[in-house]
Amino acid sequence: MRHIVAGVSLLLASMAIAAGCAALAPMAVKWGADLISAASQNYSQQYSQQLEHLLVAAYTERVNKLQRPDAIQPAGAYPQGSTPPQTPYPSDPNTSPYGSASPYGSAAPYGTAPAIVLDASILAQRASERAARRTDPVPIQDGEVLRDGGSDPRKGDVVKVSFRANCDCYVYVIGVDATGYVARIFPDAASRQGNPVRANEQVLVPEGTAWYGLDQYKGTEQVLFIASRQPRPDIEGSLTQLAQTSRASLSREFRPVREAALPDPASRGLVRVQMSAPTFVRSETGQQYSFTPQAFATPAGADDITVTRWFKHE
C-alpha cells in the first residue's frame, strides 16, 4: 500500500500545481493519500488504483488538453465535434451572470469559448428532536456537519444534489464517502434525465420529493461535480470499473477518511459567481422552496470544470 500512497501523493501534488495554486499541494497530497489509503484498506489495492485514476481524470483533463498538439484551435473555431456554447444564464442579454461586472474584465477573445459557469450545491434537510418534521431544505457550506439517525433513519438528516450549467455539456456527479467508496449520482439509469444536459437546465438528484439518507459510515464525504463540453470516456470508464466492487465486501471495522477534502473551489482558480436566476427544490412533504445556488466559473476557453463540495458525516 505504501507505493500507492506515494504515487497518489506525486500525482495530486502535480494536479494542485498545474491548477495554478502551489499552496494547495500539501493539502491535496494529504487528503488524496488519506482517501486512497482508506480505499485500499477497506476494499483492495486494485480499487484504490481505480479511484486514483478517477481523481486524476477529474482534476487534470484540462491540463492534458492544453499540452496536446491538437489543443490549439484556429480563430473562430470550436473543438472538433462540439457546438458553439450557449449564452450564460440568466438568458436576459442585458444581465451579467457575474453581477455588476465580469471577473475577467473584457469579453472573451474572438474564437475563445466563454467561461463555463456551474452552480453545484448539496442541499440538506436536518432532523430535529424538537420538531415533528425535518427543517426546510437549504444548501450547506463545505465542511458543515450532517448526522445520520443511527438505528432509526427517520431521525437522520437527508440530502439532495442540485446543479445547472450555462452551456450544453456532459455532467458527471460522483459521491465519495468516508470509506473511499464511489457512487455514481449522475447520470443514473434510474433517472429520467441524462447527458448531455441542456444549457440553464436545473437538475435535482434524486428527483421530486425523494431525498438521500445517510448510512452508518461516518467521516469526510465529498461530491464531485464535473461539467465538460465533450463526453468524458475516461471518467465513464473509471466509474464502470469502480462499480464492479460490491459494498457488501466492506468490513465493519472500516478505516474512515479523516482529512478534510479539497478546500473551497474559489481557492483552486475558479471564480465564485452570484447567480440571479431563481432555483427551486421540493421538500419531503412536497412543498416548494427557493434557494440561492452556489456557482463557480472557469476562465474563458476552458473545456471542463470540476467543483468539489464536501461535508462531515457524524
Mean pLDDT taken over the chain: 77
227 pLDDT band (50/70/90 cuts)? Answer: very high
Q: What is the pTM of this model?
A: 0.80
SS3 174: strand
pLDDT at residue 105 is higher than 70: no
pLDDT at residue 297 is higher than 80: yes
Report the sign of the C-alpha dihedral through residues 258, 28, 58, 122, in that order.
positive
pLDDT of residue 166: 93
Which residues of 154-275 form beta strands (DSSP E)? 158-165, 170-176, 182-186, 203-205, 212-213, 219-228, 271-273
CA dihedral of 15, 18, 24, 27, whole degrees rounded to 10? 10
Alpha-carbon gap, residue 228 to 306, rounded angstroms: 9
241 pLDDT band (50/70/90 cuts)? Answer: very high
The predicted model gives 197-210 an average pLDDT of 93
pLDDT of residue 20: 46
pLDDT above 70 as % of the chain: 71
267 pLDDT band (50/70/90 cuts)? Answer: low
Tens digits of residue pLDDT in 43-92: 999 999 999 999 888 887 554 554 444 443 333 333 333 333 333 444 44
pLDDT of residue 89: 42
The predicted model gives 132-136 an average pLDDT of 86
pLDDT of residue 272: 75
Which of 172, 227, 237 lies closest to 200 in space, CA to CA? Answer: 227
Alpha-carbon gap, residue 267 to 264, rounded angstroms: 6
Tens digits of residue pLDDT in 24-48: 456 667 888 899 999 999 999 999 9
H or E stretch at 125: strand 117-125
Alpha-carbon gap, residue 260 to 26, rounded angstroms: 12
